[in-house]
Amino acid sequence: MRIGELAARAGTTTRTLRYYESRGLLAARRTGNGYRTYDEDDLRLLRQIKTLQDFGFDLEETRPFVDCLRAGHSAGDTCPASLAVYRRKLAELDALIDELGSVRAQVGAELARAEVKARAEVMATAEVPGGPEPRCELSPE
């Protein structure tokens, strides 16, 4: 198949395919008149790259999976290098989850502190006759 058909079937653009080719992730064969041609194996490589990128892998992290498929394995994640990338990505995700949990706890603490302070201010201004009007309303949440 030609580059336009491969791009359409893979859900990408011809520009992306040329970029992958320049990075050595996709190898085009050329016809006598210079057209790039691809086969079903190339489509499988592209689907592997797209799936990994959807999971947050950068393009270079997909290389071991592509190499594994090119080596004739039935799946791109059956080679030791691919498994190592999975392990690194999981460790990275775990660290991000821990960091987000910490940030969430801090935001929750700030919210609780701010709600107590806001209620105290509303109560203080309500107790003073003719005192300043509150500038904002507390939401019922």
pLDDT at 5 over 60: yes
**Residue 34: per-residue pLDDT:** 87
Domain-located, residue 90: yes
DSSP state for residue 27 in the 8-state scheme: -
Dihedrals φ, ψ of 135, to 5°?
-90, -15
Count of structural domains, the chain: 1
pLDDT digits (tens, 9 = 90+) for 14-55: 999 999 999 999 998 998 898 889 999 999 999 999 999 999
Domain-located, residue 23: yes
Confirm if 65 and 77 have CB atoms less than 8 A apart. Answer: yes
**Residue 121: per-residue pLDDT:** 82
Domain-located, residue 141: no
**Residue 140: per-residue pLDDT:** 59
Dihedrals φ, ψ of 36, to 5°?
-75, 140
Of 48, 47, 36, give the one whose Cα is nearest residue 9: 47
Domain-located, residue 68: yes
Q: Which residue in the block uniquely carries the two structure tokens 């999971």?
A: 55
Write the DSSP assignment of 45-95 as a string of letters. HHHHHHHHHHTT--GGGGHHHHHHHHTT-SSTTSSHHHHHHHHHHHHHHHH
Q: Which residue in the block uniquely carries the two structure tokens 């008149």?
A: 33
CATH number at residue 28: 1.10.1660.10
Domain-located, residue 137: no
Q: Would you tell me how many other CB atoms lie within 10 Å of the CB of residue 112?
A: 10
pTM above 0.75, yes or no: no
Higher confidence at residue 134 or residue 40? Answer: 40
Domain-located, residue 40: yes
